[in-house]
Amino acid sequence: MSASRSDEWLVLRHVEHEHIGTLASSLEQAQFQHRYVDLFRGDPVPETLGQFYGLIVMGGPMGVYEMDRYPFLEQEQKLIRRTAEANLPVLGICLGSQLIASSLGARVFPGPVKEIGWFPVEVTAPEDSFTAGLPPSFMGFHWHGDTFDLPDGALRLFRSGLYENQGFRWGQNVLALQFHFEVSPTMIEKWLQDEGCCAELAAIQDINPETIRRQTAEGAEKLEELGRQIFGQFLKAVTSDK
């Protein structure tokens, strides 16, 4: 690893319950640490990555287009763009993937229907180094209502039946995932009990929290296994100097 970069990743967090989850073990295995910037607590977004090794941008209930309500969204996009163009590692999950797409010039907009719960995900680039060895399709966990166009130069990695763009790679240093590889049963239960999440579910008649709990018991272990695989391959690709 270059002497000018530390062994820490900077993590932008928008709400407390959307943390890096099972990704923490992949970072630890690769001998990395992480530090949160808690935007919901008023922590400022740094202008540059500084000494941090890479940038992780997590999910949240806001939309990329709500910069008038959440000014930090614009600051995040500037940091993402600078980091990506400097060929430093960037990983975005859910809202984080949308912020990456927007920072790279793509449109982010509300989708036709909210995708919440367990739904199949298809691998669209099975020969790519980031997705190599993943099954052709698997059950992923979703909690989003927005989507994005692919940025210029991006390679689509995943799709679902409801959303064509579920993840992409940009260059060799940027990975954007619309759905969630990082969740554990404990995390999902906290989401289901969160006041904001409960209100969102209550407004959607065809989503049953008990169905989500049952499917979590059935699918979480396999998703965690696949998460270790893709996070491990991403970290291997972006840490050749470590």
pLDDT in tens, 165-207: 999 999 999 999 999 999 999 999 999 988 888 877 877 768 8
Task: Decide if 93 is inside a domain.
Answer: yes
**What CATH number should be reported for the domain holding residue 110?**
3.40.50.880
Phi and psi at 163, nearest 5°, equal -135, 125
Active site residue 182: yes
Task: Decide if 3 is inside a domain.
Answer: no
What is the pLDDT at residue 157? 98
Task: Decide if 102 is inside a domain.
Answer: yes
In the 8-state DSSP scheme, what is residue 116? E
What is the pLDDT at residue 242? 57
Q: Which of 115, 180, 197, 224 is catalytic?
A: 180
Task: Decide if 200 is inside a domain.
Answer: yes
Q: Which of 18, 76, 115, 182 is catalytic?
A: 182
Closest CA to 102 of 61, 154, 163, 137: 154
What angle do helix axes 209-238 and 185-193 make, rounded to 10 degrees? 130
Task: Decide if 224 is inside a domain.
Answer: yes
Q: Report strand pairing: 33-38 vs 8-13.
A: parallel
Task: Decide if 2 is inside a domain.
Answer: no
The range of the structural domain enclosing residue 43 comes to 8-238
pLDDT in tens, 65-85: 999 999 999 999 999 999 999
Q: Which of 18, 94, 142, 197 is catalytic?
A: 94
Task: Decide if 1 is inside a domain.
Answer: no
Active site residue 198: no
Active site residue 164: no
Number of residues written out for the chain:
242
The rounded distance, in Å, linking the Cα atoms of 51 and 41 is 23
The rounded distance, in Å, linking the Cα atoms of 89 and 38 is 20
Task: Decide if 229 is inside a domain.
Answer: yes
pTM: 0.95
State the total domains in the chain.
Answer: 1
Statement: residue 34 has pLDDT above 80: yes
Closest CA to 11 of 46, 48, 55: 55
Angle, alpha carbons 141-203-218 (nearest 5°): 25
